[in-house]
Chains A and B, each alone.
Chain A
């Protein structure tokens, strides 16, 4: 009796395992994608545009700053020996960066808001730009 029980249990377990394996493989088969359903994606331009080798940072003045004097100092850092052009609505100034990249010049502000556009042109023709809005006002408020 005991022997029969063991054989029966073993057979049942074996059937269970076989059934489980069958279900598993059947499930795996349903997950496969037919080759006709696979879409091919082609990246036309895989190489991203490399970053510019020219940079510019401004140490003064800060953006939106208000001055009560017309002549202000512009200073910052860019690539060594870069050509620097400072433009406002009414004026233009040129400078050349030192061998360590530092540059400094003075500009005369016009009345009210001045849009400063500072461009640095490197030896290879690449550029970097920075913008500031600087206000000249003697109004007391």
Chain B
């Protein structure tokens, strides 16, 4: 009888202990699962918050860790630079952050944080932003191979036509190869070029697209000027 009482008493003593031991292990596992869940959730949130983006703009200010640029819409964008940011330039193999100055044109690829609205740069390339103008051809200088293009803002640009300049006519949804001699005054034209650093309102055309048969843009109040003809035959 004594033995039986001792056994029952022992069972009572051991059972709660065992039960407590299992509960403790479960709690530990639960805690680990919760930690893992939190980690996954925060990583998912992080991934949703950050996305790859590429921007282009002109540098306004620069420091060792931050570059402020004005993008193509003239909006200010802040770029963070760290030790993983790679710099490159087609002209300079040693191009780095110290070469970036106010007025430099750069293309940046990195991770955009939607919360802070900043771009963490992974690649920064030196670039040249082309000038794209739409206007009316008001003068054609056959002697100097230039055309004058008047735009909606009232500016008149002198456009240099080089041998490398591609000239097209827009015809029925296609671009047909044309030439300098086919450009007519009072015709609408799209010009893609690069600004002349020495002369304001002058650019060298890479491409010109004209729109034959389309009336001149009524928002550009211009009158055709007398075209200058060459003494010899044109070379283009």
Please report A residues at the B interface, Cβ cutoff 8 Å.
Answer: 49, 52, 64-66, 83, 85, 87, 89, 92-96, 112-113, 115, 117, 119, 121, 123-127, 129, 131, 133-135, 137, 139, 141
Contacts and interface: CB of A to CB of B under 8 A. Distances in A.
B173 A83 contact: yes
B53 A113 contact: no
Contact of A141 (B111, B134, B207, B219): B111
Contacts of A121: 170, 188, 211, 214
A66 B112 CA distance: 11
Contact of B107 (A92, A112, A131, A139): A112
23 contacts: A64-B55, A65-B53, A83-B173, A83-B211, A85-B190, A87-B190, A92-B168, A92-B207, A94-B170, A113-B56, A113-B109, A119-B190, A121-B170, A124-B218, A125-B188, A125-B216, A131-B72, A133-B55, A133-B56, A133-B72, A137-B123, A141-B52, A141-B122
Interface string B107-126: 10111100000000011010
Contact of B109 (A83, A87, A112): A112
Given A49-B219, A83-B173, A64 B54 contact: yes
Interface string B24-45: 0000000000000000000000
The listed residue with most B CB atoms (<10 A of its CB), out of A52, A123, A135, A137, is A135
B14 interface: no
A127 B219 CA distance: 9
A134 B168 contact: no
Contacts of B214: 83, 121, 123, 125
Contacts of B109: 66, 112-113, 135, 137, 139
B59 interface: no
Contacts of A85: 170, 175, 190, 209
Given A87-B207, A96-B172, A64 B53 contact: yes
B130 A89 contact: yes
Contacts of A125: 188, 211, 214-218
B149 to A, nearest CB: 13
The listed residue with most B CB atoms (<10 A of its CB), out of A65, A89, A113, A129, is A113
Nearest to B187: A125
Closest 8 CB pairs of A and B: A135-B54, A96-B173, A113-B107, A66-B52, A125-B217, A64-B53, A125-B215, A141-B122
B81 interface: no
A114 B125 CA distance: 12
B49 interface: no
Nearest to A83: B170
A92 B166 CA distance: 11
Given A94-B174, A134-B54, 18 more contacts: A64-B54, A64-B112, A65-B53, A85-B209, A87-B190, A92-B207, A95-B173, A112-B125, A113-B54, A113-B109, A115-B56, A115-B72, A121-B188, A124-B215, A125-B188, A125-B217, A126-B219, A133-B72
